[in-house]
Amino acid sequence: MVVSEPGLNPQFIHQSLNNLLSVSQLQQFLAQLEVIEPNPGELFWHFDQRSPAGTFVLYPQVYPLGRRCTGDRGSAGIYLILAGKVRLIDQDDNLIASIAQGWLGQISLFMESGWQPYSLRASLGLKIAYLDAKSAKSWFENCPQLQEYIYAQGERWDLLMLCHQVSGSKSVEALLPILAALNTAQLEPGILPHELAENRQLWLLYQGEMVHGSGLKLVPGQLYDRNILPTEGEWLITKPTELYVLEDSSKGAVKVKPAIPKTANALTKITPLRKISPEVRVPQVETSLPYFPSPRVKIAHWWQQSSKHYPFFKQHSHADCGVTCLVMISKYWGKNFSINQLRGVANVDRSGASIKGLITAAESVGFMVRPRKADLLALQSQELPAIAHWEGNHYVVVYQVTKRQVIISDPAIGRRVLSRQEFVAGWTGYILLLTPTAKFEQTPEAKQSLWKYGKILQPYKTVLLEIFAASLIIQIVGLFSPIFTQILLDRVVVQRSVSTLIAVGIGLLIFKIFQVIILTLRRYLLYHTANRLDLSLIVGFISHTFNLPLNYFETRYVGDITSRINENRKIRSFLTGDAITTVLDCFKFVCLYRFNVLV
C-alpha cells in the first residue's frame, strides 16, 4: 500500500514515470512531490533568456490547497500535470499549445541541451505536482532510465516549439498525439540506412541536415508525409542529425495515421522541400581570419582616444537603438553602414532588436560576436568599443573605461561621460564584444548620394534657374551700396557737391526699388517651387508607403511613419533654400574680396 500526498494518485504517477520505479521507490518519490494549484491565467513558471545563463522564476503563491510553493527566483524543477491544462508560451507571449498531460520544466535541469525557452501559464482548474531540481537530479543519478524518459519529453516540447516557428502563427496542438508516437533516430554523416528510408510514415527533422540525391533538402521543424518525399534515390546525411520517424510497423502509427494528412497540410504552408542550387559556390572569406586596420583607421583611433571624440549617430526611432550602436562601432572601425541596411537583418520590431538579432546583423557585416555577462572590472580589460545592454530596454556603445569614468554613446541622447557608479547603475551587466574579421573589410558600405534628388528637381530646373538668376541679380545690386558709399565719402562730403548728392540719392533709391522687386519675385518663385516640391515628395512618399508589405507596418509605430513627412520638408528646405543660399554666399564673398583688392 502506497501512501500519497493529498491530491496524488499513485497509479497515475507510476504511469507518468513510465513504470520505472518500484513500489518502495514510488512511495519515496510521492513524499517529495508538492501539489499546487496556480490561479487561472497565472504565469507560474518562466524562463528568461535575456541572461546568457538563463533565469528561472518560480512564483511563490498561497494556493487553494493551503500549500505554499517554496520556490523563489532561481528555483528550478519539473512539473507533472494532475488535472486541467497548462498553456505553453514562447518568449513573445505566443500560445504554442495547451498541454493536458506530461512533465514540464525540463529546461531548468538540462541547461546544456540548448532548448528554446518557454513559460507556463495556468488554465482553469489546473493542479500540478512539483519536484524541485535537487530531488530530481538525485533520482536521475539513481535511475538513469528515468532521466532519459524525462529528457525525451523535454526534447519533444522543444520540437513542438520548433514546429511552431516553422509554421508561423499556426497552432501546433494537433502535433501532440503524433509526437508521442514518433521514434528518435540518431544519424551520423553518410547514407541514410535503407530500412529507415523504406519503413516510414512520417518524418520530422529535429536538428542536422539531410539532402536527397535530386538536390532536395529537409527543413528542420517541418512535417514530411511519405506522399511528398521522393521514392527513388538516396538520402545523404551531411552532419550529425536527429530525425523523428513514425514507422509503418509501429503501434502508434495506427492510432495517429488518420490525423497525419490533415496535420501535415495545416503545417506545410511554406515550401516543404528546398532545392539546392547547382551553381558553383564562390568560396567565402573565413570570418575567423583577423582584421588589420589601415593606417588611416589607426590614426583615427588615436585621434578619437586623445580628443574623446568618438563616432555618434542618432537613432531614427526608439526601436533602432541596437542597430544604431552597430553602425557607430562599424564607423569606429572605418566602415559606413546605414541603419536601414542593418534593420532588416537584425529583425527589428516595435520593441527593438533582440540580442540574437544584433548578433545576426553584426556577423552579417563581418564582426565576430561574443555575448558576455561581466562586471565593470572585467569589461575594462576587454577590447572596446562594445554594445552594452542599458536599463533593461536600451543599448549603448561603450568606447572607453578608465579608473574614474566611462565614455559611452547613447543613440537617443548623444555622447556621455559617466562616473563608474553612474554607469554601473544603468548597465544590466550584459555586453556584446565585437571583433572585426577579414570579412568586415570586404563588406560593401552603404552608398549615399545627393544626386538621387536630381530627378525630383528636374521638372523644376527652369524655375530654379530663374530663382538663381534673381538671387544673383540681388547680390550684384547689393554690391552697388559700398560703391555709392565711397562716392558719398570721396566727393559729396569732401567737395560738398549738392548735385552729386542728389544724383547718388536717386541712384540708391532706384537700385533699392529694383532690389525689392527682384526680391519679391524670387520669394514668390521659391514659395511656388517649394509647394510643388513638397507635393511631389509627399505624393511619392504616400505612394511608396501604400506599396509596402503589411509586416512593415507591424514592426513600426504610427509616429515613426508620420515623422518621415517632416524629413521630406527638411529635404525640400535644403534643396530650395540652403543650397542656393550657400552658393550665393560664396559668390558674394568672392566679389567682396575682389572689390577690396581692386580698391
pLDDT of residue 397: 92
**Contact at 8 Å (CB) between 391 and 426?**
yes
pTM: 0.43
pLDDT of residue 290: 56
User: Which CATH architecture best describes the domain 295-442?
Assistant: Alpha-Beta Complex (3.90)
Which residues of the chain are modeled with pLDDT < 70? 1-7, 48-75, 166-174, 199-201, 213-215, 226-228, 231, 247-295, 446-457, 460, 464, 478-479, 492-493, 551-585, 587-599
Of 157, 103, 165, nearest to 130 by C-alpha is 103
For residues 169 and 95, give the distance between their C-alpha atoms in angstroms, rounded to a whole number.
Answer: 9
CATH (residue range 177-275): 2.60.120.10
Q: Can 10-145 and 177-275 be said to share one CATH topology?
A: yes
Angle at 77 between CA 24 and CA 116, to 5 degrees: 135
- Note the Cα 483 to chain centre separation in Å: 64
Q: pLDDT tens digits, residue range 507-549? A: 778 878 887 887 787 777 777 777 777 777 777 777 777 777 7
Pick the CATH number of 10-145 from 2.60.40.60, 3.60.21.10, 3.40.50.150, 2.60.120.10: 2.60.120.10
pLDDT of residue 452: 59
Cell numbers 516553422 correspond to: 166
Element (H, E) at 469: helix 461-478
**Contact at 8 Å (CB) between 414 and 312?**
yes
Pairing state of beta strands 103-104 and 386-390?
A: unpaired
Q: What average pLDDT is seen over the chain?
A: 73
pLDDT of residue 227: 66
Q: pLDDT tens digits, residue range 141-167? A: 888 888 888 888 888 888 787 777 765
Cell numbers 542550387 correspond to: 277
CATH (residue range 451-598): 1.20.1560.10
Of 343, 337, 325, 398, nearest to 366 by C-alpha is 337
Sequence-ordered alpha helix ranges (H) in 127-274: 133-142, 144-167, 176-181, 194-198, 251-256, 260-267
For residues 149 and 183, give the distance between their C-alpha atoms in angstroms, rounded to a whole number.
Answer: 13
**Contact at 8 Å (CB) between 492 and 534?**
no
**Contact at 8 Å (CB) between 202 and 246?**
yes
Q: Can you give the residue ranges of every domain in the chain? A: 10-145, 177-275, 295-442, 451-598
